[in-house]
Structures are given as structure tokens and as C-alpha cells.
Amino acid sequence: MTIPYGVSVPTLNEDLQKVFEAGIIFENNKLYISIPGKFIKDGKSRLIIGKNWGILVNMIYKILYSMHPVLKDFTDYLKNMSKLLLELNCPVVWVSPSGMKINTTNIKFSSIKVKSSILKKR
């Protein structure tokens, strides 16, 4: 499995479900993850309780970052670079492996509290 630089627990969850061709089952108001038998040693498919699946995904995520500390440094570098470019009001520009040029611009927003004249509530 490739470890992308922006890996997060939700994206890792989705990736693992794709890798294991997992199905999601709701039964008796409980969530289960179905793993096909071809991924299990004895060849029988398994249902994993959703909570246990979440624990497994979190463990794998922590292992990825403990085995690859450079990955954390790299993602921190990218976050800090993004903050710097935001302060300088510059876009982030890069070229994807397929050759497509990608531009992103971050904009700072400030919230304004308003009060409804009809309901007299914020």
C-alpha cells in the first residue's frame, strides 16, 4: 500500500476497505465490516464490528507514522509552507504526475455576527 503524504484516519479507512474489498453491513442497528474469505487464512469471510474496525484502522495509522517519522516531518513541512504562502497571499502551484498544472489559493475569512431583526436572535 502506498502511503500518501496527506494520509488521515478517514482516508486510510476508505483505502483499507478498498484493498480488502470490504462491505458495510447494518444489522440490528449495528455496523459491521464484511471481509471476503480470500483475505482470511482459512478462506471463510468474516464480519468485523465497526468499533473494532475503527480501532484497527487507528492502530495502522499510528504504526505508519511511527515507522515513517519522515512522513510526519514532510506533512508538517507542507502545512507550514501552506501557512507561509497564505501569509504572503501567494497561491500554491504544482504539476501532477500526469502533467496537469494545479493552483490553489487560500483565503482568510473573518466571521461577522449578525442579529435577525425578525427573531431578535443571533
Buried b (16+ CB within 10 A) or exposed e, 62-83: eeeeeeeeebeeebeeeeeeee
Model's pTM, two decimal places? 0.50
- DSSP code of residue 40: S
Mean pLDDT of 57-63: 87
Tell which wins on pLDDT, 88 or 42: 42
| Cell digits of residue 6 | 496527506
Percent of the chain with pLDDT over 90: 3
